[in-house]
Amino acid sequence: MTFRSHMQTALAEARAAAARGEVPVGAVVVSASGAVIAQAGNRTRETNDPTAHAEILAIREACRVAGAERLPDHDLYVTLEPCPMCAAAISFARIRRLYYGAADPKSGGVAQGPRVFSHPQAHHCPEVYDGIGAEEAARLLKAFFEARR
Ligand SMILES: [Zn+2]
């Protein structure tokens, strides 16, 4: 089986989020067979919901599609290092592999901050692969926040 990255789809969701005035973060959930079953970008402003991060929306949709509250054998791609809330949701969902793009020194919860998956209370830790598509993800975020100033 050859590895196929779905980060380009996540980046497209991040760009779509920026176009809606949302922080440009995109996420994709891929099933065991390699099919994209959910994709989402941030919608916190649109829905007045501070939990409407791309990862949460993608996991909710994937669980709906799968008809299950857990997604073992599923992988999640996200353009930015997940925050602590999303990292916890990824753990609860039993995601198999987490691929993320840019590091987030300000709000990340995986490689810095609370390091949710390294915490003794984390009942499930996905395999984590970082830095995929990181440059493009960081560029989108930088352009977005510069335009806000
Ligand atoms: Zn988050």
Tens of pLDDT, residue by residue over 114-132, are 999 999 999 999 999 999 9
Residues pairing with 26 in the sheet = 41
**pLDDT tens-place string over residues 70-102:** 999 999 999 999 999 999 999 999 999 999 999
CA of 67 to the centre of ligand 1 (A): 23
Which residues have CB less than 5 Å away from ligand 1 (the ion)? 53, 83, 86
As a whole number of angstroms, the distance between CA 122 and CA 115 comes to 10
CA of 2 to the centre of ligand 1 (A): 29
Active site residue 55: yes
CA of 119 to the centre of ligand 1 (A): 17
Handedness of CA 64, 50, 16, 6 (dihedral sign): negative
